[in-house]
Amino acid sequence: MKKWQYLTSTALLSSAILLGACGGEKDESSTSAETQTEQAESGSAQISGNVVGDGSSTVAPITEALVEEYAAVQKDVRVAVGVSGTGGGFEKFINGETDFSNASRPIKDSEVEELKNAGVEYTEFELAYDGLSVVVHPENTWAKDLTVDQLKQIWIEDGTTKKWSDIDSSWPAEEIVFYSPGSDSGTYDYFDEVILDGEDIVKSATLSEDDNVLVQGVTADKNAIGYFGYAYYLENKDKLQVVTVNGVEPTNDTIETGDYSPLSRPLFIYVKNSAIKDNEATYDFIKFTLENAGEMAEVVGYVSLPSEKYDESLEVLEGLK
């Protein structure tokens, strides 16, 4: 009899304490936010504060490396970044939930409009370059080089089941198997814009937000074709064959110079102007980002911008402060 009473009273007591802690926390956090901004205004070398971001999974590896390095420099700045995809990130950015948003495509007109309505002023910075890599199975001996028109012909929905021989009569009469990133990703949007020209992607395509699924899909099927970010190709170089587009192979050089066109694309970070002005921590983190993005991008498998570009961005950032 005593046992269960002891047990329930402990459970009740501990939950009461926990719930009590919840209630008290509100005041604490609001006061601590005030002291944080006060500290920030005094301009000491060690600052504190919260920075919240979200966005593209393509940009996420760069951000993770930056956050990791930044934590070593500024221990008290708490940077939290989600990975909801470019579209999902913008949705939160428009809602005012985040201070910055990562994107693997330029912002859409509709999103600009919504940000305007929400009264959010923002600035766009480029972080690095990515080369969308089109890949096929290593045993694919025919489709080693494709033109943009051929890519379009392969990927658009035209109501027929597509065989390789439909694209070029000397190629095998076997059905093509498609793997594409999911429609919430900036990678899909970018491919849709430059290759598909706004037309629908083939219905038989397997869409996945997880790029490793695409890699596995293409490695498993001789007739498969897929595309994804350059970093995923680099990591799986030995299992996949990259397609040259208009004769150009995606490499660090061709992506940086823009020769690998139209599939070389910039990766962006969109920053809320008011967050830079009002929050020393956000300013400092974005500054750190622009100073180190090139190096971190190379580390995780993307291509750095020319250093003048970062300098220009830093000047713009100073102007916002």
Partner 1 sequence: MRYIQEDLVMKRMNKRLISNKVWKFIFFIATSFALVSLGMLLYRIISQGIGFLDWEFITNFASRIPENAGIKAALIGSLWLMSVVAPVSIILGVSTAIYLEEYAKQNKLNDFIRMNISNLAGVPSIVFGLLGLTIFVRLFGFEKSILAAGLTMSLLILPVIIVAAQEAIRAVPNEQREASFGMGATKWQTIVRVIIPAAIPGILTGSILALSRAIGETAPLVVIGIPVILQFLPTGYLDTFTALPMQIFDWAKRPQEAFQYVASAGIIVLMVVLLTMNSIAIFIRNKFQKRY
Please report, as ranges, the residues that interact with partner 1 according to CB under 8 A: 1, 3-4, 7-8, 11-12, 14-15, 18-19, 21-22, 25-26, 28-29, 52-54, 57, 60-61, 63-65, 67-68, 70-71, 78-84, 88, 92, 95, 97, 209-212, 229, 231-232, 234-236, 296, 299-301
Tokens of 202: 């083939």
If we measure between CA atoms, which residue out of 302, 248, 268, 258 comes closest to residue 134? Answer: 248
Q: How far is CA 190 from CA 134, 229, 267, 290, 308, in A?
A: 13, 11, 11, 23, 25
Shortest distance in whole angstroms from residue 16 CB to partner 1? 8
Please identify, using beta-carbon distances, which residue of 234 and 248 lies nearer to partner 1: 234
Q: Hey, what's the torsion of the CAs at 290, 209, 244, 130, to 10 degrees? A: 0
Burial of 209 (0-12, 13-18, 19+ CB in 10 A): middle
Shortest distance in whole angstroms from residue 313 CB to partner 1? 21
For tokens 């402990």, name the residue: 10
Please identify, using beta-carbon distances, which residue of 150 and 216 lies nearer to partner 1: 216
Please identify, using beta-carbon distances, which residue of 14 and 141 lies nearer to partner 1: 14
Tokens of 29: 């956090």
Positions of E strands within 170-243: 177-181, 206-208, 224-228, 241-242
Shortest distance in whole angstroms from residue 302 CB to partner 1? 11
Shortest distance in whole angstroms from residue 293 CB to partner 1? 13
Shortest distance in whole angstroms from residue 25 CB to partner 1? 4
Shortest distance in whole angstroms from residue 171 CB to partner 1? 30
Please identify, using beta-carbon distances, which residue of 44 and 95 lies nearer to partner 1: 95
**CA end-to-end span of the chain:** 66
Please identify, using beta-carbon distances, which residue of 167 and 255 lies nearer to partner 1: 255
| Cα–chain center distance at 320 | 24
Determine the Cα–Cα distance for residues 298 and 71; give it in Å rounded to an integer. 20
Please identify, using beta-carbon distances, which residue of 51 and 154 lies nearer to partner 1: 51
Shortest distance in whole angstroms from residue 258 CB to partner 1? 23
Please identify, using beta-carbon distances, which residue of 29 and 161 lies nearer to partner 1: 29
* In contact, 55 and 85? CB cutoff 8 Å: yes
